[in-house]
A and B are shown apart, each in its own frame.
Chain A
Amino acid sequence: QQQVKQSPQSLIVQKGGIPIINCAYENTAFDYFPWYQQFPGKGPALLIAIRPDVSEKKEGRFTISFNKSAKQFSLHIMDSQPGDSATYFCAEGYNKLIFGAGTRLAVHP
C-alpha cells in the first residue's frame, strides 16, 4: 500500500521558533503535494501545495521544501505563533489524496 511517512509525530516549539515537519513519499507518479492544517473538531484546511518542478514554495510564513531525488518534502513555519498550534498533514496524489499520519504542533508563548 502506498504510504506517506510523516515525522515527527509531535513537536513543541517556543513562539518565534521554526518548526519543521518532514514527509517521505513512495509513488513518483504523483506530482502534487499539499499540506493541510487541522484544528480540533474542524476539517483539514489547505495550507500550501507544491509541484515537483520547483524546489521551494513560500506563502506567507509557510514554506515547502521539495527534494525530488530523495523523495522527501518538508514544511517550515517561520516566526511560529501560538495560533499555529494544530495538527499538520502532508499528502500526495491527484484526485485521491494519500495522507501522512499527522504532526501535532504546540507553539508555547
Chain B
Amino acid sequence: DAGVTQSPTHLIKTRGQHVTLRCSPISGHKSVSWYQQVLGQGPQFIFQYYEKEERGRGNFPDRFSARQFPNYSSELNVNALLLGDSALYLCASSRRDVSSYEQYFGPGTRLTVT
C-alpha cells in the first residue's frame, strides 16, 4: 500500500510570496494533520482536518491556512512568507478511530525562504 505522499519535495520561495503544499493520505485514512519541523527540533502541530473540517489548530499565525478535499487530500497554504518559515513541512494521516491514534508521516516538503 502507498504511504502518505507530499508534493513538492523541495521548494524555494522569496520573502512575501505565497506557497501551497499538497498531501495525499494513506488510502482509507480520513484525517490529515500538518506539522512544521525546524532543523534540529521536533515537529510542531499546525492543523488537523477530519472529514473536511478543521478539528485542531496549533499556535501558528493566520498566515497559515489549510483545507481538506472530498478525496481526503489536503493543502497547506502559507501567505506572506518570512525567513522563519523555512522548515520541513510534514503531513500525517490517521484513521482517527476511537481505538486508533496512530499517525503516519509523509516524507515532507522542504521549504526554503530567501
- Is residue B24 within 8 Å, beta carbon to beta carbon, of the partner chain? no
Which interface class (under 10, 10 to 19, 20 to 34, 35 or more) fits B?
Answer: 20 to 34
**Which chain B residues numbered 67 to 114 have a C-beta less than 8 Å away from chain A?**
90, 92, 94, 96, 101-108
Which interface class (under 10, 10 to 19, 20 to 34, 35 or more) fits A?
Answer: 20 to 34
Mark contacts of A18-36 with chain B using CB atoms, 8 A cut-off: 1 yes-contact digit, 0 otherwise: 0000000000000010101
B102 A98 Cβ-Cβ under 8 A: no
Chain A neighbourhood of B108, CB < 8 A = 42-43
B107 A96 Cβ-Cβ under 8 A: no
Chain B neighbourhood of A98, CB < 8 A = 45
Mark contacts of A67-78 with chain B using CB atoms, 8 A cut-off: 1 yes-contact digit, 0 otherwise: 000000000000
Chain B residues within CB distance 8 Å of chain A? 4, 31, 33, 35, 40-45, 48, 50, 55-56, 58-59, 90, 92, 94, 96, 101-108
Chain A residues within CB distance 8 Å of chain B? 1, 6, 32, 34, 36, 42-46, 49, 89, 91, 94-102
